[in-house]
Amino acid sequence: MPTTIAVLSQKGGTGKTTVVRTLADVLSRVGLEVLAIDLDPQGNLSDYFDVSADADPTVADVLAGRARAEEAVHGGVMPANLGLAEAELMLAGKMGRETTLRRALSSLPDSFDVVLIDCPPSLGLLTVNAVVAADYALVTSAAQYFSMQGVEQALEVIELARDSLNPGLEWLGVVVNIANLRTTHSREAIAQLRERFGDKVFETVIRQSIRYAESAERGIPIVDYSPRSGADYLALADELLDRLGRKRERTKLGALRAELAAV
């Protein structure tokens, strides 16, 4: 069975989708078979993967029971569009609504090593489905004033899932993203997060850069488009693999980091 990680945030603007897309890219470079699931009706992750707007079926069809999970995989991603918002409304009146995604993903082939779920920027039913289906939860946070509040709210959903429907769910930690380390505001926000959550906050901080938007626009992974900016994600992936106990892949990643450092 693949290792499933729900990546969530209390609000938009934390770079969550970029985290999912780039981690999927980096993990695939060290030999892991990765599936990304777009669980956001905005479909930004699907755009990041350059999936056609009329791709069919989508994750909405999977949640509605019209398609099997493996049938909705297009080029490494299970895409979403605005039809997912309608599917969420449909789920609200369904028995066992919180476990719909978990049941759907149980049919995925064992060839996948890692499943990354990009949750919507809210803590509603779709996000609940993601954390109930996941083995791990990863929270993204911008280095801003209300960052601690956002993480606390995300943790409430994680605890809800753990207490009721998914007792084995583990919290991997917090990724601090879009950080302008030249500002006192960002540095203080990070310090507050570390004081509150300790080593649950990843050591790696993803620094703010226009390169991420440029790479997304061009459809080029950040590791190839700007190796210097991509170095932050290589370091993050190394920490993630360490927390997952993936020693072999960490060794491969070390070689990749050395190779890109020479570029």
Number of domains in the chain: 1
The answer to whether 49 and 81 have CB atoms below 8 angstroms apart is no
Distance of CA 174 to the CA centre of its chain: 11
- What pTM does this model have? 0.95
Supply the range of the domain harboring residue 35: 3-261
| CA separation for the pair 42, 121 (Å, rounded) | 10
Burial class (CB in 10 A: 0-12, 13-18, 19+), 187: middle
Q: Which token pair is 62? A: 């999977």
Local mean pLDDT, 10-residue blocks, the chain (263 residues): 92 84 95 96 91 91 94 95 87 84 91 95 90 96 83 92 93 90 85 93 92 85 88 95 96 89 71
**pLDDT in the model for residue 112:** 94
Distance of CA 50 to the CA centre of its chain: 17
pLDDT digits (tens, 9 = 90+) for 33-77: 999 999 999 999 999 898 988 899 999 999 999 999 999 999 999
Cis peptide before 57 (omega within 30 of 0): yes
Strands of the sheet containing 34-38, edge to edge, are 77-78, 34-38, 114-118, 3-8, 136-142, 170-179, 201-207
45 Cβ partners below 8 Å, 6+ apart? 17, 20, 21, 36, 38, 77, 79, 80, 118
**pLDDT in the model for residue 244:** 96
**pLDDT in the model for residue 142:** 86
Residue 63, CA distances (Å) to 26, 125, 162 in order: 28, 12, 21
**pLDDT in the model for residue 139:** 95
Per DSSP, the three-state class of 204 is: strand
- The CATH number of residue 169's host domain is 3.40.50.300
